[in-house]
A and B are shown apart, each in its own frame.
Chain A
Amino acid sequence: MIDEKQLSTPEEITWCPGCGAYAVLAALKRAIIQNNLLPRNVVVTYDIGCSANMVNFLNVCGFATLHGRSIPVAVGIKTVNPSLTVIAQGGEGGIVTEGANHLIHAAQRDDDITVILNNNYVFGLTTGQASAATPRGAITRSTPSGNPYEALSALELAAVAGGTFLARTLAVDLKRTTEILSRALEHRGFSLVEIVQPCIIWAKEIKTPTPFWLEKPFTTAMEVIGQSNFFGILYNYK
């Protein structure tokens, strides 16, 4: 049995005080421990962005890839060594904006990887521009008169394309996030966990939806569509 210390690195954590990423890091460590995984058998492919800096803080096989590309790197790793637990991380900039194509196709193929989407609603590291998942009307530094577009939902894209485990959680809810991540890592096939963690610097004005926690997953993936207030495991095809 490993402990949280073994999953930590000596590097100084660089996230802003109060950032949701701290909670996500804690939840992921707990999920790895709960699932009895050895750090050397866990690979996380990281995007580029604030939450992706976790590569320096989580002591597993971390691979800092490129913006939008964590999913295809994960697919190659899993293909060559299926015994590894492979996680592709990205913000909504990487997963829903730059790399949405990869998300759709990995879901279609039901690739056996877990995608962790850290949705903070904006491009954080580049100082607060709107992404494809920024809510409509949101005032950001690139949309001073309000974002004209409806937010694109990773979960809806994955639902339509064929993803078999779809979940949404709130970073601040450490217990639920841990449990959901643990279930996602166990899932055979494509799993997507959207973790809502609005940026405390650049998304202050953006309202977090009031979560409605689903007790039991929907029976069909299509029921996920249009339910942005629903949290928990939304779909779990076994």
Chain B
Amino acid sequence: MQSGAILGKALNRVGFFSLVYPEYPSRIRGGDNHLQVVFSTEPFLAPEEKINLLLAFGKKNLVIHLPELVSNGWAFEAAEYGLEEIARELGNPLTANTAGLGLLWAVLGLDLTVLEKEIQESLGEKEAILALNLQAVRAGYEKGQVIPDKIKLAGTRQKIMSLTGNEAFVRGILAAQCDFAAIYPMTPINSILTDLAKTEVKIFRPEDEIAGIMSALGAAYAGGRAMVATSGGGFSLMVEGLSLAGMAEIPVVIILGQRTGPSTGMATFSSQADLNFAIHAGQGEFPRIVLAPGDLREAYRLAGEAFNLAERYQVPVILLTDKYLAESRLSVLAEDFKKVKIVIDRGKRPRQLAHYRRYQITSDGISPRAFPGETVFITNSYEHDEFGFSTDEAAIREEMMAKRGRKLANLNGGFEIYGPESAQTTLIGWGSTKEIILSILKEFPKMNFVHFWRLWPLPKEAGEILRQARKLIVIEGNFSGQLAGLIESQTGLKSEKILKDNGRPFFREELIKRIQRYD
């Protein structure tokens, strides 16, 4: 994993956009563990079915992956090229990976000092390990020198950075000044927990996800900005808490990292099958916001904005991600990433505390929010009156449902359009498919692409925009076409569906072929 990050970042240093997509089984050591590294001078990358360079550790891995190699591609087996011997001599088997990076770097015809610099930056804190790895990369690079006809590559002169989706989330969470995160470990959101543990955010590793969401609701109620992160199984346990957040009007951010279900499914593989679950989970009816970023800038911006939306509207906000976006390393122009600004908005607070009513009826449905320590007030999972006292009165119930129901009436935006403004055929996607679809869009100049980053409430403009096309093609990573169903239920519009539900993201060649059938 770490070698993949080093390679991806080193490629950024020489001016390439890189995508590092990991696949691994649900075990700690061994198995068919692999990384695909895609890079280009163009932004927007997608995983590929076919590869040009293969570096395998062990004959077995070589045999498994050889069919993926293009006809004029190159395959290297670590032992054959002396990489394992280098590691043996250095006395640390893990350095074989770094030697492999050196070999690949030489084959690509790139400057060794750049790779060395990246290794220094990535491993700099551990001096002894750094020294070993620098020796390994140089030795590996030497091995690569003996290969004739090396590729000579040149990158752009732009400053490119890369992060995993989870890392972009963590930056957004920190920019939003989150105070409290309750996270029970679960793939694919584990690195959010381990990265936040190094920061000022108060981390709570709860006894279960029920305690996770409940403690986050307590933290938010007490005046903190609070979040949880989990996958579908953990979110299942959080559902009663989600409904409580709706009723008691407590802001909370829920990161839901989708992986292949149902149940334990394929625990380390990707999926977009929890959209309906996120939108519909919970007893009763209450407002919520569901966001699904598709690239690093969106992941950063929406992770930050989620806290603002939660506090502005006093609702739960669900941030949908998936294993592909969470753990893959994507690239972005550094200056574009820096342009994204997160400005903190803590929502409506009481101007005065005398006769304070926690659930005051207001025209926008939003009641000023006080915190314990400021004044006495009641917060309630039961239906309640303006003061928070429990009630079964029909008239108050109707008023309160209407009040909560008004809160999201003015939500704007939620989607982006790429390609021609009007087109006969519109491709539609959400969340992590964004860059993959953008990477193939130039193959279909007559089509445009609508990317939804807010799924609930589905943007008001959706119907109007989608009605302009004669044909709609929804591309999503699930078995039944959940966004297609959502669009139909909200707008009456029917779509063609390009679906994939085998745990892997869409591959570039595959997606082009499947769209061509409609061209």
| Chain A residues with a Cβ under 8 A of chain B | 9, 11, 39-41, 43, 45, 48, 53, 55-56, 59-66, 69, 71-81, 83-84, 101-102, 104-105
Contacts and interface: CB of A to CB of B under 8 A. Distances in A.
B211 A102 contact: yes
Contact of A80 (B179, B376, B381, B388): B179
A58 to B, nearest CB: 10
Contacts of A80: 179-180, 202, 218-219, 222-224, 226
B398 interface: no
A62 B241 contact: no
B103 interface: no
Contact of A77 (B210, B218, B377): B218
Interface of B: 179-180, 182, 202, 204, 206-208, 210-212, 214-224, 226, 240-241, 244, 248, 371-382, 388-390
Nearest to B374: A40
Contacts of A39: 376
A169 B218 CA distance: 28
Given A61-B372, A66-B244, A83-B373, A72 B180 contact: no
Nearest to A11: B389
B378 A65 contact: no
Contacts of A71: 211
A72 B219 CA distance: 10
A49 to B, nearest CB: 12
A40 B215 contact: no
Contacts of A56: 378, 389-390
A64 B374 contact: no
Contacts of B381: 48, 64-66
Contacts of B218: 45, 63, 72-80
A11 to B, nearest CB: 6
A101 B379 contact: no
B376 A76 contact: no
Given A63-B221, A64-B382, A76 B373 contact: no
A153 B272 CA distance: 44
Contact of B211 (A75, A79, A84): A75
Nearest to A9: B389
Given A72-B218, A73-B218, A84-B372, A55 B378 contact: yes
Nearest to B390: A56
A169 B241 CA distance: 32
Given A63-B378, A65-B217, 9 more contacts: A11-B389, A43-B372, A65-B214, A66-B244, A72-B210, A73-B217, A76-B180, A77-B219, A84-B373
Contact of A79 (B215, B374, B377): B215
B217 A76 contact: yes
A64 B373 contact: no
B389 A73 contact: no
Residue among B202, B217, B241 with max Cβ neighbours from chain A (10 Å):
B217
Nearest to A65: B381
Nearest to B215: A76
What are the 10 closest A-B residue pairs judged by CB atoms, nearest first? A76-B218, A76-B215, A72-B214, A80-B224, A72-B211, A76-B219, A61-B372, A105-B207, A73-B218, A77-B218
B356 to A, nearest CB: 10
B380 A55 contact: yes
Given A75-B215, A76-B204, A62 B373 contact: no
Nearest to A75: B215
Contacts of B212: 72
A71 B376 CA distance: 20
A101 B206 CA distance: 11
Contacts of A69: 210-211, 214, 240-241
A77 B217 CA distance: 8
B460 to A, nearest CB: 33
A105 B212 CA distance: 12
A230 to B, nearest CB: 28
B64 to A, nearest CB: 43
A72 B244 contact: no
A66 B214 contact: yes
B380 A72 contact: no
B375 A40 contact: yes
A36 to B, nearest CB: 16
B222 A84 contact: yes
A74 B390 CA distance: 20
A185 to B, nearest CB: 15
A207 B376 CA distance: 39
A89 B389 CA distance: 17
B193 to A, nearest CB: 16
A62 B379 CA distance: 6
A75 B204 contact: yes
B179 A73 contact: no
A61 B210 contact: no
A63 B248 CA distance: 9
Residue among B180, B207, B223 with max Cβ neighbours from chain A (10 Å):
B207
B244 A81 contact: no
B376 A61 contact: yes
Nearest to A7: B376
